[in-house]
Amino acid sequence: MAQLSLKATTPDLIDFDDTTLKITWKDGVTSVFDLLDLRKRCPCVVCKGGHGGKVGTTTGGIQKISLYAVNKVGRYAINPVWSDNHQTGIYSFDSLRMLADGLGGDLTL
């Protein structure tokens, strides 16, 4: 797993609109994420196929999504509140930055 600096994984600003989530990191880089892609990559146990399910069963049919809110989880993650009433996914800043930089991470499908 790639090592990223603390500045590279610490958000300075988190913002979203109808289609994207934007994070400007302390190192000055701005990452832009497509909301539908992020929703389908939800790292929660239900969306990842835990409890006897199959990966993609809960997210495969989603065609459009928006965000109601983005809550911070300590200093390490965000917890999005999605328009389909799903809000159990915790997206770590490390994984989001790795995804944006093409380095894989926990959000890789």
Closest CA to 38 of 26, 22, 27: 22
* Residue 19 covered by a domain: yes
* Residue 107 covered by a domain: no
* Residue 42 covered by a domain: yes
Domains held by the chain: number: 1
* Residue 51 covered by a domain: yes
CATH number of the domain within which 85 lies: 3.30.2020.30
The alpha helices in 1-109, defined as continuous H runs, are 35-40, 93-100
Whole domain around residue 14: which residue ranges? 6-101
* Residue 1 covered by a domain: no
Per-residue pLDDT of the chain (109 residues; tens, 9 = 90+): 567 889 999 999 999 999 999 999 999 999 999 999 999 999 998 888 766 656 556 777 899 999 999 999 999 999 999 999 999 999 999 999 999 999 987 786 6
